[in-house]
Structure 1
Amino acid sequence: MNRYRLVVRRGARLLGHFDSAAPWAQEAVQEMAQCLANAGYDLELLIADSERRLLDSGPDGIRILSSEPIFKAKTLHG
């Protein structure tokens, strides 16, 4: 399942981002983008379809210590 991130700026100032990994994440991000674009915010869409994982291997098996999504910029359609 893809994870979507919508980065929100006003001019050169970063305001924050909206992340969604829900089954309907693409629709959620598109809806947020439409509302924010209409209000004059600058937006960047990032999509993570893979992740980097830090693993631990011990006598009880392998376990994930941490994971980090790997985002790639995509064109925003809205």
Structure 2
Amino acid sequence: MGALGAYLLLSLVLVPFQYRYLTGVKEEQIRCEQNQSEYYNSKSVAEQILHANTQGNPVFILANVMAYIIYKLKQK
């Protein structure tokens, strides 16, 4: 139970950071007037790798899901 508790605590701490990252990406995408695939294709390989690590790392999955839900709720 200790490892699960630590993961939940880490996820809760990471939610604000992941939320800011998500909103920043969406704002830049809107500012550049690009859809999602155009936006990511315009990025350098290093930026694409960074994004993939930020969004796909198993440590961040719960925080990403919670940040995405909060983002969608605030967009309504």
- Taking structure 1 as the reference length, the TM-score comes to 0.30
Structure showing the higher helix proportion among its residues:
2
Structure showing the higher strand proportion among its residues:
1
- State which structure, 1 or 2, has the greater radius of gyration over its C-alpha atoms: 1
Report 1 or 2 for greater relative contact order, CA contacts < 8 Å, sequence distance ≥ 6. 2
- Taking structure 2 as the reference length, the TM-score comes to 0.31
